Chain A
Amino acid sequence: MMTILLLFFPLIASLAVLLGGSKLAAKLALGLAVVELAITGYVVSVFQASGPEAFYVFHSWIESPKVSFHLGLDGLSLIMVLLTNFLTPIIILSAFNRNTPHAAGYFSLILLMQFALVGVFTAMDGLLYYIFWELALIPIYFIALRWGGENRVAITLKFFIYTLAGSLLMLFGFIMLYWYNPDQSFDIRELYRIYITDGNQSWLFWMFFLAFAIKIPIVPFHTWQADTYRESPTQGTMLLSGIMLKMGTYSLIRWLLPILPVGVATWGPLAITLCVVGIVYASIIAIKQRNLKNLLAYSSLAHVGLIAAGIFALNIQGLQGSVVQMVAHGVNVVGLFFCADIIFNRTNTNETNELGGIRNLAPQFTTMFMIIVLGSVALPLTNGFIGEFLLLYGVYEYNTWLSVFAGLTIILGAVYMLRMFKKVMLGETGIRVPEFPDLYWNEKLALSMLVIVIIAMGIYPQPIMDMAEPVLQTILNKTVI
């Protein structure tokens, strides 16, 4: 019951905002998103007490092919839903004071996206999951198309088709799995049980992996990412980088690892190598990027490469690390893009060459920005550190040299982040940037929330890890032959 409420409330909210008109849109959207967050909070407290069984929803939906409306909230899904519902109000909050044209449509699309994302994370039936996966693509396409930057049309089209091509492969995969099942069902419990021959596991692995690799993205399937992040409006980029890409990593854990263990065993080494190469590749590119949003996009690419590598390391710390880092990265990257948005709002530029000396003009902003940067750079006592430590340890257990190579991220990350901070914030005041009003109320509130989470997660990450442990252990048992 709670699950259905949790899922459909954003949809209703989206309609309400659309009908409510542009004047009310921002406040209404924020209010409804906060309500959704409150519901999620309640669900978390019930979950601690009673476990995942309370949130199981199962209705037979379609007879032939047999698709059921099966939702479930176990530890992993709940963490992802919590992340989504925590970030959405902050994303909406970040859009205040920005004079968005056609606001009703904008916020309505954000809430629609939330609906699709919650659906992806709670769906336990293959086809239902696929429907939500595709559904998530539509609002972001329109958000980017209508409210994006100058070159958005071609770039958004490329993003859409590229992602869709991957998803199509995944659909083929699901259909293949359906035919494999003697009971012929898409339900996840059935999918976990069926036996697939080794040869077919390889094909299926690539079908699913490509879909997820494009979504995350994993190098070399990443070329849509930097441009799309840059041209999308800030809220779009936050949705994309903060939550949508987590769909890919979540799916690796939920749908790829346990269903195709032989495929993972065969192709895992290649996958993890791609991920690790991607980490260093993206970090190096980030160093010399002159556009702030491009730099953050490549930084994000490096971090999610590590998350994916940790998943393919196939050990408990890798999986725990990936869950923690998914949350941490979501929070950090939303914070970073928000700071970039604040800078753009005040100075009308994203080029680091045209910025500098902001520190003296806006001390509050500087402090928040610095803490978020430190979280991204994985300083101990921030959330990024816990994730990176676990992930690097996970990769280490898989292969020592890979983890040394992946560990270069802590050096390179410091290089490009601090270099960016130096260029943008430090230096002589007032030369490039004449004035810079400090944070408005909505920015202060949103950034404070993020900063609190960054530090709190850094000091006490155990609740998240405890919540995810049973699920991850089960999946690990299924995966490791």
Chain B
Amino acid sequence: MKIPISYSFRNLWTRRLTTIFTTSGMALVVFVFASILMLSAGLKKTLVETGSYDNVVVIRKAAGTEVQSGVDRLPASIIETQPEIATGPNGRKLVVKELVVLINLQKRGSNKPGQVVIRGITENSLTLRPQVKLVKGRLPRPGSSELMAGLSIAKRFQGAGFGETLHFSMRDWNIVGVFDAGNTGFNSEIWGDVDQLMQSFRRPVYSSVLFKLRDSSDFGKVKARIENDPRLTLEAKRETTYYADQSEMMAKFLRILGMSLTVIFSFGAVIGAMITMYASVSNRTAEIGTLRALGFMRRNILYTFIIEAMLLGLVGGCIGLFFASFLQLFTISTLNFQTFSELAFSFTLTFEIAYKALLFSLIMGLVGGALPAFRAARMNIVEALRAG
């Protein structure tokens, strides 16, 4: 680069106000772009981490989610007899039959309603879900009206905190424990004894069966056997796949909305950059003429203006990314369109998102600066000098 980059920097600095406006526009576009990617990544992470690759979820065929599914006692017992199920440290098979329903709870502070998953569990449920760790209190005793709440629910909903009481189905339920399930969807659930819950909700059927494979590669075999058994109208999925599928609708929605916003706004940012760069070229016509007279080539002029525009983009991109990174402090709590249940997830910034965002900002700068740079390069020396 014959013309030093400091030349471009200083020119941006000289016309500070315009530079600030233009980079702010770029920063905002990059912010929106990055935040959408971060939201999708956060959503994916939450739902995908919610689940182990070696676990298999069995629900009624075509039900889609545990909430809509019903597995009778007999089919459930048949699943329990599958030979591929792993054995736990206590000598028992690692298989559980669970009930999953939604209940209405009121949010703290706003009294607005939310639909929360209540899961009826048994002893091995925790073993099958190593991501779940008890952080306060204890596990609910089998046969009791006790519950434990996921961290997100304990925090956000009235009556769901440690030591508090929920009332439904004409019974009082005490929250005796709080568990932390990291980034997974389990943090948005309340767990209790499956038999007690089935009784009080008067649901004689389970919602799902979950088991761990002794050998992960056995999945295909077990799946085929379960789905082809005429006695059962069930389907089997790896737990990770099951949860990933549940986010598809949300992810798609976020993607469409987010990308359209980004596209529209990026047009605006590029135009802002174009206007700024055209003005820049226009103000420095005599300079351009001088540089050409001194012996600099058309392409030197072209590059220097393109670099200036890309710097605008890059600065905007860094600022946007910087602010976007703070989003990681926030958690979004919303209704999952597919499961109709409360879901809390946060923004996740990955290296890939960061470099994509910066690349995007560079491209915006490039597109915005290209035409003005060409105009600068195509100038006639004598006319340019005269304009000064």
A-B interaction: no
Which residues of B come within 8 Å of A, CB atoms? none
